[in-house]
């Protein structure tokens, strides 16, 4: 199977993760112009699963390093098979809440609050479990990202006062999504071998772990998304009949593409963790917050009606994000 052994390459893969995780929600924006987000989310979950299976059957099966996909699944313990599926259930609930927050409050708010909170919690939990990297630089980077989140919240408060409506529901959904998202990665990481070349007995390879995680996402969709279809965060309820009768091939394709983009990012993050460590790999990937905010600000124009001075705050937000991500990268380089 394909393995990443260079830290520099691991950082590149984390940048790919950042771009994927910060950009997939644009497919939701495109699809939900004429398609309820609950229906979009079925295609998204299918896309996540399909990509993980393709990766497992190709990069996860070729070559003579590590273990092949089927061989690895057959020797894994029941606990390690269950952990990433549970991670998929936790992630899917958090992501559905995040998608709901995007629908209510917009990308430039939902991502900095939800994913930013997930960054803080995820780095802490993964570092405690696998303490790789300079803790001073690592957590200074997390603090810098947290400051960026607070600045974005101030900018959003100025924006919402102009609209005379504060979507408290969107903020609450973002916070709940962030708390849950901060823990899903640990379930996947705990099931994996710490050595990707010589797989520990009973443990999963990165490809097997992502596949089982994706299976958990798709399976849990029958629970979480069915609830949201009946009791939506905003708008009218959705039915399964609408999914089959009203969705065009183009709309279904956009949703599946969104899921595949996200799963590409997840796969790159898990592969990078072998050299970077889980805390750094997850932390860098969650720089997606900045990428998503840039989409929201510059493409979707979510702050075009903001009062004077708001754009200065947005510039500061981006600077603190870049500073934080730089320190997270350096934290692995400065370990004696």
Interval 269-279: pLDDT, tens: 999 999 999 99
Please answer whether residues 176 and 97 qualify as being in contact, where contact means their C-beta atoms are separated by less than 8 angstroms: yes
Residue 32 pLDDT more than 80? no
pLDDT band per the 50, 70, 90 thresholds, residue 108: low
pLDDT per residue as tens digits for the range 277-287? 999 999 988 88
Q: Which pLDDT score is estimated for 77?
A: 97
Provide mean pLDDT across the span 58-68.
92
Provide mean pLDDT across the span 141-168.
74
Provide mean pLDDT across the span 214-243.
94
Instruction: Write the burial class of residue 130 (CB in 10 Å: 0-12 exposed, 13-18 middle, 19+ buried).
Output: middle
Provide mean pLDDT across the span 310-334.
90
Q: Which pLDDT score is estimated for 165?
A: 56
What's the Cα-to-Cα distance from 214 to each of 1, 25, 52, 122, 204, rounded to whole Å?
19, 17, 7, 19, 14
Provide mean pLDDT across the span 70-91.
97
Residue 293 pLDDT more than 50? yes
Better pLDDT: 119 or 140: 140
Provide mean pLDDT across the span 24-51.
89
Provide mean pLDDT across the span 86-109.
84
Residue 153 pLDDT more than 50? yes
The structure tokens listed for 328 are 């997270």
pLDDT per residue as tens digits for the range 192-209? 999 999 999 999 999 999
Please answer whether residues 251 and 34 qualify as being in contact, where contact means their C-beta atoms are separated by less than 8 angstroms: yes
Provide mean pLDDT across the span 289-314.
84
């Amino acid at each position: 199977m394909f393995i990443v052994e260079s830290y520099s390459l691991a950082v590149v893969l984390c940048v790919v993760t950042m771009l994927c995780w910060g950009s997939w929600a644009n497919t939701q924006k495109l699809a939900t112009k004429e398609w309820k987000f609950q229906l979009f989310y079925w295609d998204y979950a299918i896309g996540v699963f399909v990509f993980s299976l393709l990766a497992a059957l190709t990069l996860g099966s070729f070559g003579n390093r590590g273990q092949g996909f089927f061989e690895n699944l057959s020797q894994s313990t029941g606990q390690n098979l269950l952990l990433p599926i549970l991670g998929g259930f936790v992630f899917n609930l958090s992501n559905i809440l995040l998608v709901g927050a995007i629908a209510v409050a917009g990308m430039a708010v939902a991502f900095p609050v939800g994913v930013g909170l997930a960054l803080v919690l995820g780095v802490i939990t993964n570092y405690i479990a696998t303490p790789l990297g300079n803790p001073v630089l690592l957590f200074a980077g997390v603090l810098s990202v947290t400051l960026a989140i607070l600045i974005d919240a101030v900018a959003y408060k100025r924006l919402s006062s102009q609209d005379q409506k504060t979507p408290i529901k969107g903020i609450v959904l973002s916070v709940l999504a962030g708390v849950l998202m901060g823990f899903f990665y640990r379930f996947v990481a705990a099931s994996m071998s710490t050595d990707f070349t010589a797989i520990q007995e009973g443990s999963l390879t990165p490809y097997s772990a992502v596949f089982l995680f994706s299976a958990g996402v798709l399976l849990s969709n029958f629970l979480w998304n069915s609830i949201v279809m009946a009791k939506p965060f905003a708008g009218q309820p959705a039915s399964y009949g609408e999914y089959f009768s009203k969705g065009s091939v183009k709309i279904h394709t956009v949703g599946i593409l969104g899921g595949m983009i996200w799963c590409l990012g997840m796969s790159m993050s898990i592969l990078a963790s072998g050299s970077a460590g889980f805390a750094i790999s997850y932390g860098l990937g969650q720089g997606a917050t900045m990428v998503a905010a840039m989409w929201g600000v510059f493409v979707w124009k979510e702050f075009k009606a903001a009062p004077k001075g708001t754009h200065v705050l947005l510039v500061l937000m981006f600077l603190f994000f870049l500073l934080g991500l730089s320190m997270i990268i350096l934290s692995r380089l400065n370990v004696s």
